[in-house]
Amino acid sequence: MILLFYNLAVVVALVAGAPWWVWRLTTTLKYREGLAERLGRVPPRLRKDARPVIWIHAVSVGEVLTVTRLVGELDRVFSGYRVLISTTTRTGQELARQRFGADRVFYCPLDLPWAVQAYLNALEPRLLILAETEFWPNLLHGCFGRAIPVAVVNARISDRSWPRYRRMRRLWRPILGCLSRVMAQTEIDAERLRAIGCQPQTVTVSGNLKFDVRAAQQAEATRLLRTLAPGLRFVVAGSTLEGEEAELLAAWPRLLHADPHLVMVLAPRHPERFAAVTALFDRSGIAWVRRSDWQPQLPSGPAPSLQPLDPGQVVLLDTIGELASVYSLAAVAFVGGSLAPGWGHNPLEPAQFGVPIVVGPYYPNFRAITEDLRAHQALRIAPKEELATVLIDLLLDPVAAAAMGERALQVFQQQAGATDRCVEAIQELLPPELERAEADQPAVVEKRPA
């Protein structure tokens, strides 16, 4: 009954919002890209391998990064299976194809009955793994109806989402009560998940997969920046949101006065804002360069046409998937999405390199991680009016900055291990013994009545 009301509500919303969706599809590429896949057209590339499927759903860039090591471990442990990865956003799709190969990455179907059923019919997954809290009723109901186990990794209920989940717990309970395993980031998350309907025996605390994330390899941007800026120091500002770029540019003259040998690398969170940020740079009068203007280079070094960076320049990192590696260059890193009320972003990307970290006072989506780093004096909190001062303090005291970065690295290393715990739990749902036995047997085609 709940599913019926949900689907009726979805239909009403689609009909009511049809003019807006038509306008978006007509004017915006990210809404058109992958539309056929989202509506239930299963791409032929997913059908080419006869091995049984493990389906992982990771919404966007953050979730793709989070499950990167998990995908590698599942490939190793369940070698008789094919691990497929779906995303919702265009940027997540692009990064997933870079990380895992385009032949096993696809857009997740919209949570419409026919679209979901098309994928379940085609893929026949033996296991669905959801990253964080992507609870889509039709997808979950379709899996439950086929006895497909569903596991949730890195599960969490943020402070911002908790009141909404709690109000609707009676609606969620019939759905969440059927989940096979739920691996929460923290005990608080585990308590909240049990409270909204997850069966207590299915919920465990496995830790945060983000502590296991490592930069897959040195990005081309990292190599170029190191080559083009010899003797200069980098301030790396990552995952910035609207308004934060202006604050950083306003602080930039003060930082250069304190240390004239600086270059800033600025990476906006959302690619659709690149044009707005470039316009902001043009109005600022600050010398800047766009990373995407650097064409792919030969391994021997940059082409002669690339000019070395000058002190005081700003580099717009307008590429996907390179920020985590670029953090390794930072004398100090600012993690954006945190100067104004919002979600915050992941401070572990610079922590893995022992980089001193600065964030703003708003970080609800990463509260546990940020507070852990803060408790170990491995991170500084700076409201926007103090941002320049805090950055300058760290730039002018490299000994204290290095000690802070080392503490951040220690926290990162001490909290690692969530991936191994998740793989152990998944083995209970889909043992490798089953995988090996099935891999050794010829495929059996079940004949169904017409």
CA 5 to chain centre: 31
**What does DSSP assign to residue 446?**
P
**Element at 182 (helix H, strand E):** strand 181-184
Q: How close are the terminal C-alpha atoms of the chain, in Å?
A: 30
Phi-psi category of residue 130: left, alpha or beta, with phi > 0 → left and psi -120 to 50 → alpha: beta
Q: Three-class SS of residue 231?
A: coil
Q: At what angle do helices 418-429 and 61-77 cross, to 10 degrees?
A: 60
Q: Is the CA virtual torsion 302, 307, 311, 314 positive or negative?
A: negative
| Phi and psi torsions of 44, nearest 5° | -55, -30
DSSP 298: B
Q: What are phi and psi of 268, to 5 degrees?
A: -65, 150
Half-sphere exposure of 189 (CA within 13 A, CB side): 25
CA 294 to the chain's CA centroid: 25
Which residue is it, tokens 């439950």?
A: 144
Please give the radius of gyration of the chain, using alpha carbons only, rounded to the nearest integer.
Answer: 23
What are the C-alpha distances in Å from 170 to residues 56, 159, 167, 173, 204? 27, 19, 8, 5, 22
Cα separation, 81 vs 59, in Å, equals 22
Catalytic status, residue 63:
yes
What the block records as the tokens of 387 is 């941002």
Among 37, 63, 244, 245, the one annotated catalytic: 63
Q: What residues are labeled active site? A: 63
